[in-house]
Structure 1
């Protein structure tokens, strides 16, 4: 393993999504040693606890605020007592990464010449919605023949729109008449079929009883979540582990934020094999979804795993 220098702040190298960008910012916060959102917000003028949570919290915004993200970077470096010229340089790096993710996540322009596709999609939308509504109203949700009738009408209608001249499919009146005919046929077929049995009564909702039901960690076999379960560092082959809900997270070569990154955990329910206790909390052995080093084998900090810590039943890592 190649350790990262303690005085080198983590950077958002190679991020292409907002989840990856936020995961990199969380790593920077761990590196800075902030004990909470209030301490981080107090480190930089203009930064508030609400702004920190809007970028790094569990209920963060879909697109993190650019100014708040740059203030978080500034706060992290101020906590490590870095000079202003270095802070400005790091903020430029994070600003460029933010711009890059924005460009990568923009919806591509709609290609020209797709008028017929749009017309077909619009033409089958009303019959499809009608079939679903009538099936629900007549308790046919469990009747495969009713759903088959809806699917048959939609396929026939789409095929008709595909073979007629394009100008007919795009003109409002012919398209509306064809859609109305498809609706009438759909209703007739569904009503002609007998209603299915009533659906079973639902199980009581945990929210109605006042008890929270967070997704638990479950013990599961390592395969197929880890294709090659031979651990290159701990000298053992893992047979099972615990699958827990998690945020996208960086995987480090060692149980320390200062070690190099082995990869990135992109899945939101990942498998963890053992745990290591450190002064900053628990670290969990896993394999990253991307391979930056060591075939992705490494450790994830507890901040990214939404479970009690240490994970109940998970053994300590050997060695």
Structure 2
């Protein structure tokens, strides 16, 4: 007769989902959502309390209904750390590095693709679907690549980018988490992705990431007046620039963004403007931000 189960025995919790199954940005977002499910799907604010610098708006941009096409490295690292700490996982640093390193691989692979080329693991357009004869001649190597969800092509493409960089600079290159915190940055850079703007009811293609002072107010208009949110993260993303009231930066340039924590006018959902003086850039508007607000 089998022994009765010991009611005092505590089963080991399942390990967190692995990022390596993702070969595309969409799949990477899916793995982030799986990690959120694994940690118990807590309220965003409760999750953010486990990692300084993470905000509910950032979590929504990662795993919400309209996530960024390309999740930022800083947001990814903070989100993964928060999920691990919420489940009381000891020493989450190695797991965070694992996620950010795999994100670097996906980014490197995406950079090698020509315009119109599908990322590994995505279906080709209808007019490029291989016919039966072509499919029958596929090699065993191709089949193995398909079985791994395109990760073979992902790593090959990433390796090509990293190897080219190593040859050009004459130094060794390692796939590790990059410094995306913006501490030493002095300018903005394009950030691939899209985001839904609930204030203007439109989808913005591509964003701009800039180093900025954290915990600054976001205003309803390009002028000091009604505060609608607080921008807590550094770096942060911005949509466009416009001219408004002069500020301590010695100019009248303001940037449009979404704050991390809404403080007023809830119908705006945190969307508003910050003065250029809050950004750590040498010029205003920064040359990288090529879009001017209408």
TM over 0.5: no
Higher helix fraction (1 or 2): 1
The structure having more radius of gyration, on CA atoms, is 1
Report the TM-score range of the alignment, normalised by the length of the smaller protein. 0.3 to 0.5
| TM-score, normalisation: structure 2 | 0.34
